[in-house]
Structures are given as C-alpha cells and as structure tokens.
Chain A
Amino acid sequence: MDFLRPAGWEEALAAKAAHPTAVPIAGGTDVMVEINFDHRRPEYLLDLNRIGELGEWEVGEDTVRLGASVPYTRIMEHLRAEMPGLALASHTVASPQIRNRGGVGGNLGTASPAGDAHPALLAAGAEVEVQSVRGSRLIPIDAFYTGVKRNALAPDELIRAIHIKKADGPQQYSKVGTRNAMVIAVCAFGLALHPETRTVRTGIGSAAPTPIRAKAAEEFLNAALDEGGFWDNGKIITPSVAKHFAVLCAAACNPIDDVRGTASYRRHAVGVMARRTLTWTWESYRGTARTTEGAA
C-alpha cells in the first residue's frame, strides 16, 4: 500500500490520473473501517486532507458550492439557512466525532444507498463537480448514482465540490434507524418545496439499490398543488392528497430485507416519513409552523 499526500488539488488530480485505482481518503469514515476490518487493501491511498479548498464553501446567488470535504458539523452550523435539508441530514450522520470528519464528498464517493446526504441532495437539486487532469464537469445528482455503491465518476476523477440549489422554500429530512443516535439508516426521506418553480422534490435513501427520487409522487403532488391553487391560497393540503403522495413515495421504493430492516417496513416507513415531512414543510410554507425544525 502506498500513501499519496498531494499538497494541492492539481497534484491530487495528477496522482489520481497516474494511479486510477487510488482510493481517495478525506474524513476516513468509510475507508478506514474497511481497512481496519481487512475488507479492503487499496494499492494507493490518496489523502485529500491537505487540500484546503475542499473544506471551503461559497454561497452564490442561486447555489452553494460546497467543498467535497466540508465536515457535516460545519454544514449544520453555517449553512442551515441555505441548505436546511442537508443540514438536517448532516445532523443525523453517525456521531459528533464522525460529523467532525466526514463530508458530502465521501458520501458521494462511497455512493452507499444508505448515505445520509443523498436524499437531501436529491430533494434540493444538486450537481456534483468532478475534475480530472482532463478537465471538469458537472454531473446532475439524478445521474450520479449508477448502482449499489457505484457512481458516475471516471477512474481518474475526483469530487471537487457539490453545487446545491439554495433553498427557496422549506425543506425537511427524516431518517429511520433502530437507535436514537449513531445509527445507519434503515431508510431515509428528504423533501424540498420549491415555491419559485412551484415544484416539490423528494429523495429516498436505503430503499432501493441507489438513492432515488419518487418522481411519480412528485408529479402527482405538483399537479395536485397546482390544480387546487395551494401555492397561492396556502390552504392545508387535503389529507387524501398527502396520503396518496405517501403511497406513491412508498411505491417508488425497491427495497430489500436485510439485517437493518425488512423491505415491507422500509416501504411503509418511507410512506410515513413522506406524509410527515410534507406536513411539516407545508405548514412551514403556510407560515404557521410551530415546529418545523425542532431542535434538530
């Protein structure tokens, strides 16, 4: 095993080009577990800790350009207004110690269906900025996840940043785990209202081979909100609409039975979370929220 310690981004890209099998390590929260438990012996470890810009973010007019290694703790502390869904998701990540090290780039690199950030990114709308010595490209989040623990990165590419649409409306995030802290998702759900475009976006984690959106549910809800004039009249969403939205979200799942939960429970729980997060965000949109974010 070789340990590559590029001092800067260009050097990192060159190293990745020279050693496409190199495994990038930033927070180490996935890679080191695999090494400690002898599940993986990469030929090269590519340390990204020295590349300061990966830990920085820029808030633009429409998007936040979030460095791949910005720790979850920083997202919770500094970017709650711009990315409330991702901030809530960040708060559900593992433990304080892990949130101090891990960042969204790692979640995307590992591309586990259980990664906590994915549903929030899908719901908010995001693009992944990846680079190689060949150049830079933006991958829409919807095209990023290509299979179980597989993503759209080319072997010589590294994740530089994530461009996340700044929230133009309420966002929520919920995750079911069998413990009240430090738990991997049994399933998770993200929801974002986009009043500017009068659309709703969703994200589902751990309930399909990849993180997914519940597109049929979104289309149904977009149409129902539109038809009922809800965006303008701010009325409470009809329970039957919320219920059908939940049913469609559950139907979007393609889960498995595993040690963390059964497929049927995952489908069920996604439905419950869809209904609840819709209620919370809509209440918030109507300006009557009592408890939009709680203490989370």
Chain B
Amino acid sequence: MGTTGTPTNITQGSRTSGGIGESTLRPDGTLKVTGEFAYSSDMWHEDMLWGHILRSPVAHAEIVSIDTSEALAQPGVYAVMTYDDLPTDVRNYGLEIQDTPVLANGRVRHHGEPVAIVAADHPETARRAAAKIKVEYRELPIVTDEATATAPDAPVLHPGRTDHHAPHAPHPNIVHRQPIVRGDVEEARGRADVIVEGEYVFGMQDQAFLGPESGLAVPAEDGGVDLYIATQWLHADLRQIAPVLGLPEDKVRMTLAGVGGAFGGREDLSMQIHACLLALRTGKPVKIVYNRFESFFGHVHRHPAKLYYEHGATRDGKLTHVKCRIVLDGGAYASSSPAVVGNAASLGAGPYVIDDVDIEVIALYTNNPPCGAMRGFGAVQACFAYEAQMDKLAAKLGMDPVEFRQLNAMEQGSVMPTGQRVDSPAPVAELLRRVKAMPLPPERQWETTEGADVRQLPGGLSNTTHGEGVVRGVGYAVGIKNVGFSEGFDDYSTARVRMEVVGGEPVAVVHTAMAEVGQGGVTVHAQIARTELGVTQVTIQPADTQVGSAGSTSASRQTYVTGGAVKYACELVREKVLEIGRRKFGSYHPAWATAELLLEGGKVVTDGGEALADLTDLLEDEVVEVEEVWRHRPTEPFDLRTGQGNGHVQYSFAAHRAVVEVDTELGLVKVIELACAQDVGKALNPLSVVGQIQGGTTQGLGMAVMEEILVDPRTAKVRNPSFTDYLIPTILDTPTIPVDVLELADEHAPYGLRGVGEAPTLSSTPAVLAAIRAATGLELARTPVRPEHLTGMA
C-alpha cells in the first residue's frame, strides 16, 4: 500500500472495530471455501426439469418453418416452446431498447440466437429433443462492419425503429451516434508543430466469468414464479421478465443466487425468461445451466472497435487538439450500446487537457454477436488508442513518454471535452510519477544456477526459449473512467437497515438488492454499518426483490451508490436510536440534549468520548428499521450535436507501468510486472481494493496478448466459443502486480470514496502494448497482439 493522501473521514470517525478502512474479511468467505456457497448452477429442487435452448446455427436468416412435434413426442420431454407460444404481446426485451426477441420471431440476426426452448427430465433428454426440432432457415445477406451495415442496399436489421435514438441515427443500422465538439480543431491544427495519426483495432473481448449462466425457476401456487438467479441487477431483470410472462412484478420474486463473476456480462438477460416460461408452462421447477460453449453465445461481449485518432502538439509538448472517430460494433441487438457510445465519446480524449476536440462515436447494428457491457465500458477501447497516440507524439517530439503525459495531464478543475469541470481530485500526473518511481524488476530473473527456468520466460512450460531472442520493454499508460450511471440516468439505490438486540448484543441487519458478484460489496456494507451504528455484529441478508432496487453492480458504482444508501439508512437508524435514547435517558445527562452524539463500541458516546448508554439498555426489545432510497448528484444528457453536458458524476484514474519480455523471434510475450497506481478516494476495505485493482489489471493484460472472440467475416459465425481457444491468463501468464493506492477524497461521495473496479482495466492493456512496442520497435495498432503480429506473419 502506498501513502495516504488527504484524510477522508468526512463523517464520523468510528472506533468500532471492523469499520470502514479496515481489511475485514468476507462474510461469505467460509461458505465459499467449503463449497457450501450456493451459486446459481448449484440450485436443485425435487421434481425439477432441465431447460435447454435451441440456437441458430447461422447468423442471419428468415425462419421459414419450425416443427416441434417430434421433439415434443420424446419420452421425458415436458414442453417445447417457440415464439408462437409466448404468453403475451410483450415478446422482446432489452436494457434500454426492447429490440431483443425472447425467442426468434421469424428471423434470426446472429449466430447462436435462441430459437426454441425445451424442458425435460434430464439435460441429455432435453438436448436430444432440441436436436429433433426441425427449423428451416432461409439465409439472408449479412452485414458485419460499417461499410456493409451502412451501404445503400444494406439489409436493415431492425426496420421501423421507434427507440429514442432512431431520429438522430444517421442510418437505421446505426444504434446511436454521439459527437463531442469543443473549440476549433481546424484552427488548433494550425498551431500544432507535430501531428500524429493512427488507426487502431480493438478485438472482441469476453467477460469470461467462470460461473456459467444458470438459475432455477419455481412456479408458485399464486400463479407467480420464484427465480433464483445470478445477475448484476435484480430489478432491471424483473422489469424485463414480468411483462413477457404477463405477470405483475410482485408475482415474479427474484433471489440472487451465488454469482460466479460478472464483469458486465450479466447486465443483459440470458436464461431468466426461458426458465420462467418453461416453469409456468410445465408447472414444475426448471433449471437451466449453460455450458461454456453456450455461454459464449449467451451473453454480450465487449464491443470490438475501429478507432481513428489525430493528435497535435506544440514543439514544447502541449497538446493542441484531438480529432477522433470510433466505430463500435454493437452486433445484432442494442444491449447497452448507446451508453457505451456516450462513454467512448465523452472519455475519448483521455485524462488530458485538450481545448480543441472533435470526437464522433457510433455503434453499429450488424449480424455479429451482440455486444454490450464489460468492465471499462467504452472507455477501454478509447484508452488503448489514445495512449498509443501519446507514445507516438512523445517519440516524435523526442520527449519522455511519462513526462509528455504529465505535461498535459488533467487535474482537479480541468474541463472535460464535454464542458464538465472535474470537481474532485484528478491526480493523473501523480499516478504516473508513482508507477515510474517504483523499482524495476531485476533483469533476467529466469537465470538460475541450474540453467534457465522456462516458467519465467516467454513460452513458459512450452520450452521455446532459454533466453534466445528475449528482449525487455517498459511501457506506461493512464486512463480515465466515469463512476456510476451517467447522462441523466436516475441512478439510485435502496437500503433497509434494522437494529435490534439479539442474544444480549446489538445487531445491525442490512438488506439490499445489491448483486454481490465477487466484488466484496457485502463486506463493505457490514463495515459501513459498524462504522455508523457502532455495532460489531452485522448480518447481511440475501439480495432479493423484497427490497427496493439497488441499481446495477456495474460502472464501479456499488460501493458509492448502494454503499451510500446503506450509510444513509444507517444514519437514519442512528437518529431514531438517539431519539429513543433521549426519550429514555435524556433527563439523566445534559449531553443528550446538546452534544453531537455517536454510536461506538455498542454505546452512545459524546463526540468527546463520554459513554452515555449501552445500546442493549437503550433498545431493549425495540426494533429500529429504515428503508430508504439514496441517489448521487444528478447528471445531464450530452447534447446530441455538441456533446456538451455535465454527463458524469465522478471520474476515476489509474496508471500502469508494464515490464515485458518478448521472444522477438517467436513473438511470444511474458509480462514480468504490471505495476499500478490508482486513486480510490477512500479505501473502505484496502484488501478488497487491491484485489479489484489486480483483477482488473489482469483482464487488461489478457486483452493485450491473448483474449479475442474471433468472428468469421464471411459468415459472422463465432470461431472459438470455448476455453480451449478463447484464452484468459493463467497464473503463469500473470505477473506480480504491485499496487500503490492513493486516497484523495472526493468531497461529493460517501466517505470521499471513488469507484475502483474499472479504471485498472483501462490502462493495463495499453501499458502492455507500449512495453511490447518498446521491446520490438513495432507499431502494433491492434489488440490483442498475437505471435503472428510480432513476427510479421499475420
């Protein structure tokens, strides 16, 4: 851990142990290490059936006919459903635009689109039955990129669009377009002494969470359904599920099952509606579990992108302007493409002060796999490209790449290309200084007295080099990410907090609908309750829809927003507790009336530390409970022509230094170290903060050197839907990740905290790329880089 910045105990500083700022341990840790934690795929019910989905083998086709009779006649098969069997007129869903059919409606638009669903008494029975469904497809021409999607004769994927982006979309196959225009780029270009241009390609990344899409739907006696599910946002699921089922929302009761990672891939629905439909149709509980192959078709991916950048700078190294155009491939359905566009555009200039900006970002509808949320959400693709540009500019100016960045780094008070003033710390130059100041790992660590330890060389256990061709390179990058939902979205959360005496001890019970996906929100909620309520014992109740919405576990927002809601509810509980105290004991001590009172160590104390009452005595058998909604500062939409607007609530920053060793002959890469410095405002749980940073860093590493969903441009079919050919880093690919955490408080946020999860995923990829460029001297305008790119054999 690095040094601590400004003290951030904005609210009361509690002396209750296990409060914020401590590395308390996960409340679900014991269950998770014993195998008892119930993930969504672990659910089981007597008499349950297995659901299975029949998916399209082609990317774009008219469905001429579907014959389910033979499948339905199989022994052990309880139901087969297609579009025609959907119970209501609501037959589409979607996060923002309801353009995604629950089951294909006469047309499929991407490889793997759900066409029919089966329920049977064994997964194999269901699979065999699905194979007997006869679907006649008439293939249609595909569109796979900007040129084909916007060609004059291009097939329109969603004719008759009525969504609110449609009126300003330049073409019906463009989901959304967001320009950001500020200053005068033409004039600024005239002031530039050097100009660099670049065209960059960012591949399609998969979230590759380990717990596959799965869940259990149980029909209820009241005609409703209970759904146990792994998701990022229970209430958003509910809003999409209930109308399709024709049920009021209170008859679709959702409980969060254990979530095996998410990273954005569980924002969209997967098997939720299908399981409910089959359960309601058969009257039996239905479990659906995707295997890894299906999982690659069952969730959206990170948008692949083509990025064009032009930057100018003066001879003394000041940026003059940026001109940028980013084309995101949204695939067949909108998912969160509009918001990803907004992020890529508003953050497209990076954490730099540039007065003259001309940015245009679009997302396409194509027949490629649908793309949507993934950790970093639009900011990742842009960061890869603008950081490459910064290195190019520095090289052209003969400047040190870190010094060049520092010279142009934004700081608190800087103005974004959207016109928004950054009103909390933005220590961009300091983060770069810190990663640069860390000691470099020693050279040739693979040399041992017994020879080369191949595990520490590029190629690893595959024994490709004993040092031959190995060159070291060092690279830097820094990025900017927004925290929370933006562009005027009403981004709130809800917390219910109860305080009572149990077993002679005051206990706080916290209930939210926050999806714990591994990030440690449950740990932090308990810490907040301890800090605010002065208790040791905190129970975190399971997340479900019996409490108000917590919003999504995404956009690095949960500690901020649901943490904020828990804090707020605790404060209200505290006031009620103090009221009880004043009522009961007010006459015994004048401090009850005058002093600022706190709850600490199970007692009511004055701000001077004098104890006034034990909470057990105060509460006796009274139960204090509050459910409240909390929201962060409002944001504004971006102007559709200029992109101006206070669109974001908070920014977060991380910087990386990558040290790599490249076998330049074989094009194999070993990342030796990936150091990160990040400002987190206030580390509510330092252990979890570091864990988030190291995990995000590693996903960025994967994107740099191995992770890519390959789609055949001739057929729009996915070529590598498996963990055999979609590779994520192993422990032998992952370097040491030293982390330097800054804590510069954002006075607008609870405890001064800053969302942590995403920023490290941004700068990791370009830092690794920069280091590989330094080692090889190659330009490398795409990510991930593969051995063929490093050897000129692509």
State the A residues within 8 Å of B (CB): 33, 36-38, 88, 91-92, 172-186, 259-262, 264-265, 268-269, 272-273, 276, 279-280, 290-296
Contacts and interface: CB of A to CB of B under 8 A. Distances in A.
A37 B465 contact: no
Contacts of B788: 261-262, 264-265
Contact of B451 (A88, A262, A295): A295
A294 B452 CA distance: 5
B454 A295 contact: yes
B465 to A, nearest CB: 7
Nearest to A91: B461
Contacts of B127: 38
A176 B787 contact: yes
B142 interface: no
Contacts of A269: 666, 787, 791
Given A180-B455, A269-B666, A279-B468, 15 more contacts: A88-B463, A176-B666, A179-B460, A179-B730, A183-B462, A186-B787, A261-B786, A265-B667, A265-B793, A269-B787, A276-B466, A291-B452, A292-B451, A295-B448, A295-B455
Nearest to A290: B451
B458 to A, nearest CB: 7
A265 B730 contact: no
- A33, A184, A272: which has the most chain B beta carbons within 10 Å? A272
Contact of A179 (B291, B293, B706): B706
B304 to A, nearest CB: 16
Contacts of A268: 791, 793
22 contacts: A33-B724, A37-B722, A173-B463, A174-B462, A175-B463, A176-B464, A176-B787, A178-B705, A178-B787, A179-B460, A180-B460, A180-B670, A180-B732, A181-B730, A181-B733, A261-B786, A261-B787, A262-B794, A264-B793, A265-B667, A265-B788, A294-B454
Contacts of B719: 259
Nearest to A33: B724
A203 to B, nearest CB: 14
A186 B458 CA distance: 15
B710 interface: yes
A265 B791 contact: yes
B729 interface: yes
Interface of B is mostly: loop
A173 B719 CA distance: 29
Contacts of A175: 462-464
Contacts of A174: 459, 462-464
Given A37-B293, A186-B787, A180 B451 contact: no
Nearest to B729: A179
Contacts of A185: 462
A294 B464 CA distance: 11
B720 A259 contact: yes
B665 interface: yes
A279 B467 CA distance: 13
Contacts of A88: 463
B668 interface: yes
B725 interface: yes
A30 to B, nearest CB: 11
A242 to B, nearest CB: 12
Contact of B727 (A178, A279, A280, A292): A178
Interface string B755-794: 0000000000000000000000000000000111001011
A36 B462 contact: no
A184 B724 CA distance: 7
B452 to A, nearest CB: 4
B462 A176 contact: yes
Contacts of B466: 276, 280, 291, 294
